[in-house]
């Protein structure tokens, strides 16, 4: 049997901190993501412990009535211990 793996980063969030919630736009994205993936026969969901990641997939978790495993290995790596205004610049 062929299995599929879906990797989703997160929906639009207020910031980059571990506790940053989704923006209103991000909440809508999460709902649309759940609708998009609803018929994908997903059996297992693993999420980063970051709030924005969990909130991005929670609508799907609720619709599918499956558990969500939190895995700290999916946390973002620390780029700096201080604020970087240009973190997104290339």
Per-residue pLDDT tens over the stretch 38-71: 999 998 999 999 999 999 999 999 999 999 999 9
Which are the contacts of 31, defined by CB distance < 8 A and separation ≥ 6?
59
| Radius of gyration of the chain from its Cα atoms, rounded to whole angstroms | 14
User: Where in 1-90 does DSSP place strands (E)?
Assistant: 45-47, 68-70
Q: What is the pLDDT of residue 87?
A: 63
Question: What are the φ/ψ torsions at residue 8 (nearest 5 degrees)?
Answer: -125, 130
Does residue 76 have a pLDDT over 90?
no
């Amino acid at each position: 049997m062929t299995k599929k793996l879906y990797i989703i980063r997160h929906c639009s969030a207020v910031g980059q901190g571990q506790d940053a919630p989704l923006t209103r736009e991000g909440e809508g994205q999460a709902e649309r993501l759940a609708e998009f993936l609803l018929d994908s026969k997903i059996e297992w969901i693993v999420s980063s412990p970051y709030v924005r990641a969990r909130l991005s997939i929670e609508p799907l978790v609720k619709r599918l009535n499956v558990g969500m495993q939190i895995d700290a290995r999916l946390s973002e790596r620390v780029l700096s211990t201080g604020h970087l205004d240009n973190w997104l610049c290339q």
